Amino acid sequence: MIREYAVVGGGIGGCSIAALLNAHGHDVVLIEKERTLGGCASTFIHEGNTYNAGATTISGFHEGGIVKRLFNTVGVTPKLISSDPAIAILQGEKSCIRYRNLDTFIEEVNRFYPHPKHDEFWKLVHSVQEAFYALEASYYYSNRSRFKKIVSLFSFYPLLKTFRPYLFFNAKEFITRFYGDIDSEFFDFLEAQILIVAQASCDKINFFTAALALGYTFNETHYPVGGMGAVCETLTSKIPDVRKGCPLLSVKREGDLYHLTTAQGIIRTRNLIMGTSHYESSRWFDDKEIRAYYATFEKRNNQQSAFLLYMKVKSDRIFDHHYQLISDSILPYTLSKSLFVSFSDPSDTAFASGYYHITASIHTDSRMWLGLSPSHYKTQKSDLHDLLQGWICDRLCLQRDAITQSFAATPKTFSRYINRTQLGGNALTLSNSPPLLPSNDTPIRGFYQVGDTSYAAQGWPGVVMGAFNCMRLIHG
């Protein structure tokens, strides 16, 4: 049997495009290496306890939001709880809450970091966020050929016209000039929030990207009931052929067909959509054209990655879903001053009753973890584990003896499970922006790519935007 579409990788990207293709009546098979779907957005069991692997928040599920549009198109509904406020940001003695309501948040930010320009600044951030997503359906991005690049440029014309004042300015310069006299503590407050969404520091991105990163909590954000992996399971629940525990081993291209050798046999398909990381996918191909295609983008790999701490803690206190802790210096073996800490919801029966299951993540560089001797790696991992655990306990007033399980993951761990060390996808920086980034189609017939290392960006809204774009490109 020859399949119409085979999608490799059941992360957000692979699940989204497979679900969209199925909803549009196409024949599709989705294969995933692991026994659970989700990749960076999966949920796993460690010694009997459930944890979210990486992603813990969903944005874009508000009325009119792109993630909501995806689930509506597919005709399924994930179980979510609204997280409002979205995040509590703890810096020194300050605890500033990211309220969804703009005016409430402006009052809050003025309470902790008083400045006369806040009103104007946050209204600008809010308006950029709203205007960007209002235009989303018209974006089309392909860099398959010169002609397609020109068509893409035209589709972005409304965006370029609307946001021109913010596209060509480095965000750091823009913010500094805007505020006039910004203090370093407030700048760190902004920078920490920008980094977790834009995956790059303020001096590397334009203000437009920074505003999108700062503004996402003005939309509703959600907590996934049952773990983030359950959202991907729901998304793909109508697809008749989803093969888990089915790693792709190699691909041969013959004429118009792709022959996939997988752990569960051969799949022959006319169209192949890779949902694996762009930077680590060429290993499955011996086709020269495809290997050359991947090589074109190798230099876009920023090697950015993550270190994760997972903890199970007994407590009858009430915690918010998410905290961001900000320190005044970059932590050792990391790239960041800030740690994102997510708690399970006490009503969520996927997690043990009376306990919180915590996923905490911090940016690192994969090269800080690869190539170390086994003993050096072990010591470094345990040092950072202890440092982050101590910081969380101190800042959130958790008793150390209430921790019943605690372990960490490094870029090496992610490589072992999901075949990637670069996490967080492509950052849209000033030197790394469309049309330099991979699009969802390629110059190779029937060969597509989705996920956070191709258009549009990381996280639920960014990856889903890429899946919708891929559908547009498939349907011409």
Ligand X SMILES: Cc1cc2nc3c(=O)[nH]c(=O)nc-3n(C[C@H](O)[C@H](O)[C@H](O)COP(=O)(O)OP(=O)(O)OC[C@H]3O[C@@H](n4cnc5c(N)ncnc54)[C@H](O)[C@@H]3O)c2cc1C
Residues that bind ligand X (CB under 6 A): 8-14, 31-34, 39-41, 54-57, 247-248, 275-277, 306, 308, 361, 418-420, 423-425, 451-452, 458-460, 463
User: What minimum distance in Å lies between the beta carbon of 2 and ligand X?
Assistant: 20
In eight-state DSSP terms, residue 399 is -
User: What minimum distance in Å lies between the beta carbon of 196 and ligand X?
Assistant: 7
Q: Which is nearer to ligand X, 148 or 420 (CB)?
A: 420
User: What minimum distance in Å lies between the beta carbon of 139 and ligand X?
Assistant: 18
In the bound complex, which residue of the shown chain has the CB atom lying closest to ligand X?
11
The two structure tokens encoding residue 342:
């997510």
User: What minimum distance in Å lies between the beta carbon of 146 and ligand X?
Assistant: 27
CA-nearest of 210, 377, 202, 223 to 307 is 377
Q: Which is nearer to ligand X, 205 or 418 (CB)?
A: 418
Please say whether the beta carbons of 238 and 19 come within 8 A: yes
User: What minimum distance in Å lies between the beta carbon of 436 and ligand X?
Assistant: 18
Task: Give the integer Cα–Cα distance in Å for 21 and 275.
Answer: 14
Q: Which is nearer to ligand X, 175 or 251 (CB)?
A: 251
Distances (CA, A) of 145 to 49, 428, 435, 438, 462: 49, 21, 11, 12, 23
Half-sphere exposure (Cβ direction) of 4: Cα atoms closer than 13 Å: 10
User: What minimum distance in Å lies between the beta carbon of 36 and ligand X?
Assistant: 8
Q: Which is nearer to ligand X, 34 or 220 (CB)?
A: 34
- Residue type (1 letter), 13: G
Task: Give the integer Cα–Cα distance in Å for 326 and 391.
Answer: 10
Q: Which is nearer to ligand X, 152 or 277 (CB)?
A: 277
Q: Which is nearer to ligand X, 71 or 169 (CB)?
A: 71
The two structure tokens encoding residue 33:
């290496």
User: What minimum distance in Å lies between the beta carbon of 106 and ligand X?
Assistant: 24
Task: Give the integer Cα–Cα distance in Å for 286 and 309.
Answer: 37
Please say whether the beta carbons of 44 and 53 come within 8 A: yes
Q: Which is nearer to ligand X, 438 or 459 (CB)?
A: 459
Please say whether the beta carbons of 44 and 418 come within 8 A: no
The two structure tokens encoding residue 228:
């983030």
